[in-house]
């Protein structure tokens, strides 16, 4: 069975009670490496969103009342379908997002694991007995929120959607998903098709690609009680403000400018390899990308030299046709933003140790030396394959540099003395810390989220975070007879 054949399912359509044409028309799905049109996806209008949310709200009540075994079975079947169709879905991840095949394999693997982990949620104890001063049974129980709106980005289109869709469904909610239209197939259509084949009842999942207008309608819709958003900090602030106006919760996983701290006792060959992976994986288009390399002054020059050599050796090209290390930047606007930050940094005194050039959407992995805290590519989130390197003299200076940012998503510290590294980490606010690893990592079982301008904390991944994100707490008391009151 072919899961994603556009001629039989999704061409020019959205998924909302089956596949249907959207009021917002359709848009091309473009392969960034070649500019080729891979198909056309429907674009949802605000009216499409309104109808989908109302239908989701109506369907959710029966789903919440469905036995936990049945809900768990749907999620297990979904996990199996991701494994069965990994090659087909992975090919779309490569062609739509410009990912290299190993990155696509990671996405399909984690998608399956997210569904398997979510399958354990319906049978999880979702409450507690609490003490009461009255002769009664007093309970705090978790109940579904109702309808969850999910807004997901282009860079890891499958993982960053399924990590909210799967647990929200497992816990008895309905979901309306707005994938980025640039990756509407791998980040939207594939999820709709998997749950369609897994036997999810009608009305519980709606997939509505679209732009800002579609997202605004989803956040504002009165049927939606929780918004799960992954994207830029600027967009996240707007989503959070809009959600607050409507008195609904918004779980925000936003941008980052994550630091990798290389202490003087680190194995430098391994440190350079880790730094290259952290900055150049998926063209640096990852919220956790190593955006700042903080290297002890005694090894900084050697680190820059070897990191530049790594960058120069890496191949850049079409990942669907060639064996390459980096694929294309997602589009020309993002490429121009990356190049603008690089050229501005060089004008302000940074040294271009490697890269800094592009051919079409293919941007060479870039190393910048001689940067200072105000260097644009060091101070801002680049979201491209750029590694700015700065040196420090002692741990206090390293802490000062690492904390001189509005972000707090991920932190890597490389040292042979792991306890010293852990002590250092405790001085730097960060939602994620990796000792002796670079900054990029994700697992379905791990809580994920940042602090500061990186988001609202760990509201993704792991059972506790998912239950907190997609349920409400309800207080219930029971007693044998009606209390007699003095009135």
Side-chain half-sphere exposure of 207, counting CA atoms within 13 A = 32
Do 272 and 151 fall within a single domain?
no
Q: Are residues 316 and 360 in the same domain?
A: yes
On whether both 342 and 234 belong to a single domain, the answer is no
Strands, E, within 31-136: which ranges? 37-42, 127-130
> Does some domain include residue 445?
no
Domain CATH number, residue 388: 3.40.309.10
Query: Are 472 and 343 found together in one domain?
Result: no
- Per-residue pLDDT, 100: 98
Flag whether 219 is in a domain.
yes
230/354 same-domain check = no
Q: Examine the residue annotation and report whether 426 is marked as an active-site residue of this protein.
A: no
Contact 354, 366 (CB under 8 A): yes
State the Cα–Cα distance between residues 134 and 141, nearest whole angstrom: 19
Beta partners for residue 434, in sequence order: 412
Low-confidence stretches of the chain (pLDDT < 50) are none
CATH number at residue 96: 3.40.605.10
- Which of 253, 306, 397, 406 is flagged as catalytic? 253
196, 287, 306, 381: which one is catalytic?
287
The reported pLDDT for the residue numbered 7 is: 81
- pLDDT value at position 9? 86
The CA-based angle 401-406-407, given to 5 degrees, is: 90
Given this model, what pLDDT does residue 259 score? 98
Contact 386, 408 (CB under 8 A): no
Q: Quote the pLDDT of residue 144.
A: 98
Does 23 map to a domain? yes
User: What is the model's pLDDT at position 302?
Assistant: 98
For residue 457, the model assigns a pLDDT of 84
- Give CA separation, 51 vs 18, 145, 149, 199, 268, in Å: 13, 19, 14, 22, 57
Please report whether residue 447 resides in a domain: no
pLDDT of residue 8: 82
| Catalytic site includes residue 443 | no
Together in a domain, 160 and 102: yes
| Residues 422 and 471 occupy one common structural domain | no
Claim to verify: residue 231 and residue 112 sit in the same structural domain: yes
CA distance 29 to 185: 8
Residue 63 placed within a domain: yes
Residue 152: both structure tokens together: 């997901």
* Domain assignment of residue 175, yes or no: yes
Q: Which of 220, 254, 259 is nearest to 434 (CA)?
A: 259
Is 159 a member of any domain?
yes
Distances (CA, A) of 141 to 126, 132, 133, 162, 463: 6, 15, 19, 25, 15
Do 28 and 109 fall within a single domain?
yes
425 with 471, same domain: the answer is no
> Is 286 in the same domain as 350?
yes
* 62 domain residue, yes or no: yes
Q: Where are the beta strands (DSSP E) in 91-241?
A: 127-130, 137-144, 147-151, 174-178, 205-207, 224-230
Query: Which residues span the domain enclosing 121?
Result: 13-254+455-476
Write out the two tokens for 29: 């799905």
Residue 460 confidence (pLDDT): 84
- Quick one: pLDDT at residue 69? 97
Is-contact 158 108, C-beta < 8 A? yes
Q: How many domains does the chain have?
A: 2
- Which residues share a beta bridge with 144? 471
Alpha-carbon span 33 to 214, nearest angstrom: 27
* 127-130 and 137-144 beta bridge pairing: antiparallel
287 vs 251, 307, 438, CA distance in Å? 16, 21, 13
pLDDT tens digits, 324-366: 999 999 999 999 999 999 999 999 999 999 999 999 999 999 9
Query: Is the domain of 112 the same as that of 245?
Result: yes
């Amino acid at each position: 069975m072919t899961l994603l054949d556009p001629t039989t399912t999704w061409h020019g359509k959205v998924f909302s009670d089956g596949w249907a044409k959207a009021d917002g028309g359709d848009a091309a799905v473009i392969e960034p490496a070649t500019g080729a049109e891979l198909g056309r996806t429907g674009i949802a209008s605000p009216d499409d969103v309104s109808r989908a949310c109302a239908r989701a709200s109506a369907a959710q009540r029966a789903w919440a009342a469905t036995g936990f075994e049945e809900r768990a079975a749907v999620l297990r079947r979904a996990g199996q379908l991701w494994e069965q169709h990994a090659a087909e879905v992975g090919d779309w991840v490569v062609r739509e997002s410009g990912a290299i095949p190993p990155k696509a394999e990671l996405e399909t693997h984690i998608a399956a694991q997210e569904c398997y982990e979510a399958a354990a949620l319906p049978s999880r104890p979702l409450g507690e007995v609490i003490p009461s001063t009255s002769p009664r049974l007093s309970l705090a129980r978790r109940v579904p929120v109702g309808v969850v709106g999910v807004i997901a980005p282009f860079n890891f289109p499958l993982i960053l959607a399924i990590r909210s869709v799967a647990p929200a469904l497992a816990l008895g909610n309905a979901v309306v998903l707005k994938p980025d239209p640039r990756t509407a197939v791998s980040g939207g259509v594939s999820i709709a098709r998997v749950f369609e084949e897994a036997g999810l009842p009608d009305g519980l999942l709606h997939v509505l690609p679209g732009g800002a207008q579609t997202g605004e309608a989803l956040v504002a819709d009165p049927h939606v009680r929780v918004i799960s958003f992954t994207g830029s900090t600027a967009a996240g602030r707007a989503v959070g403000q809009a959600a607050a106006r409507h008195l609904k919760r918004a779980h925000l996983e936003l941008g980052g400018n994550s630091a990798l701290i290389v202490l003087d006792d680190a194995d430098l060959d391994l440190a350079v390899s880790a730094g290259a992976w952290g900055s150049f994986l998926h063209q640096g288009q990852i919220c956790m990308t190593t955006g700042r390399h903080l290297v002890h002054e005694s090894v900084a020059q050697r680190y820059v030299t070897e990191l530049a050599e790594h960058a120069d050796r890496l191949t850049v090209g079409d990942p669907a046709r060639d064996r390459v290390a980096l694929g294309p930047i997602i589009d020309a606007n993002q490429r121009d933003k990356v190049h603008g930050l690089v050229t501005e940094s060089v004008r302000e005194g940074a040294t271009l140790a490697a890269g800094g050039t592009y051919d079409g959407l293919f941007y060479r992995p870039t190393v910048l030396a001689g940067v200072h805290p105000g260097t644009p590519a060091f101070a801002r989130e680049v979201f491209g394959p750029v590694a700015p390197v700065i040196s420090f003299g002692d741990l206090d200076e390293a802490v000062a540099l690492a904390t001189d940012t509005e972000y707090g998503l991920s932190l890597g510290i490389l040292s042979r003395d792991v306890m010293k590294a852990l002590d250092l980490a405790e001085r730097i606010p960060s939602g994620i810390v990796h000792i002796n690893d670079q900054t990029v990592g994700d697992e379905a079982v791990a809580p994920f989220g940042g602090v500061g301008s990186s988001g609202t904390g760990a509201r993704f991944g792991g059972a506790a975070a998912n239950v907190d994100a997609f349920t409400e707490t309800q207080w219930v008391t029971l007693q044998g007879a009606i209390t007699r009151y003095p009135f």
